[in-house]
Amino acid sequence: MEAILNLYNSVRSHFPEITAKADREHVRLWDELDPELAYSWFQSLANALNTEMCKGINPNSHAALFIFISNNLENCTKEIHTCIDVSFTENLFWQVPGEKAAPYWHALPDPLKELYLGFHRRAPL
C-alpha cells in the first residue's frame, strides 16, 4: 500500500488541476477523500479524465500526466502495476464517444495503450 500511496501523493503534487477534479469525483463516489482509498482514487482520476474527453478538452492538457503514469510502470512493483492497470487504465475512455476518445488515445503512451488493449481487446475509437 505504501507504493500506491507514494504514487497517489506524487500525482497529486505534480498535477493539482486534474487532482481537484478527481477529488470531487472521488467524494461523489466514496463520500470522503481518504489516502487509504488511494487505489480507488485512480479510478476517480480516470473518470475525471473521461469527463475532460467528453468536454473536448485538448489532450495536450493531460499529456504530461499520461507520461508520468506510464513512466511509473517502468521497474515498478506488482502493486503499482496492478493499480495503474486495473484502477486507472481499465476505466479510461468509459462512455466516451469514439470521436472524443480518439485524440486522447493518440496521445496515450504505448505502455498504457498496451494495458488498455490487454483488457478491452480493442481501442476505444
Q: What string of H, E and C letters represents the secondary structure of the chain?
A: CHHHHHHHHHHHHHCHHHHHHHHHHHHHHHCCCCHHHHHHHHHHHHHHHHHHHHCCCCHHHCHHHHHHHHHCCCCCCHHHHHHHHHHHHHHCCCCCCHHHHHHHHHHCCHHHHHHHHHHHCCCCC
Domain range for 23 is 2-120
C-alpha cell at 19: 487532482
If one counts the domains in the chain, the total is 1
**pLDDT tens-digit series, residues 28-80:** 988 888 888 899 999 999 999 999 999 999 999 999 999 999 999 998 999 99
Q: What integer best gives the mean pLDDT of the chain?
A: 95
Mean pLDDT of 11-32: 95
Mean pLDDT of 1-29: 95
Mean pLDDT of 13-35: 93
**pLDDT tens-digit series, residues 75-95:** 899 999 999 999 999 999 999
User: Is residue 125 domain-resident?
Assistant: no
Q: What is the pLDDT of residue 110?
A: 97
Q: What is the pLDDT of residue 33?
A: 86
Question: How confident is residue 14, by pLDDT bands cut at 50, 70 and 90?
Answer: very high
Burial of 65 (0-12, 13-18, 19+ CB in 10 A): middle
User: Is residue 46 domain-resident?
Assistant: yes
CB 115 within 8 A of CB 67: no
Question: How confident is residue 1, by pLDDT bands cut at 50, 70 and 90?
Answer: confident
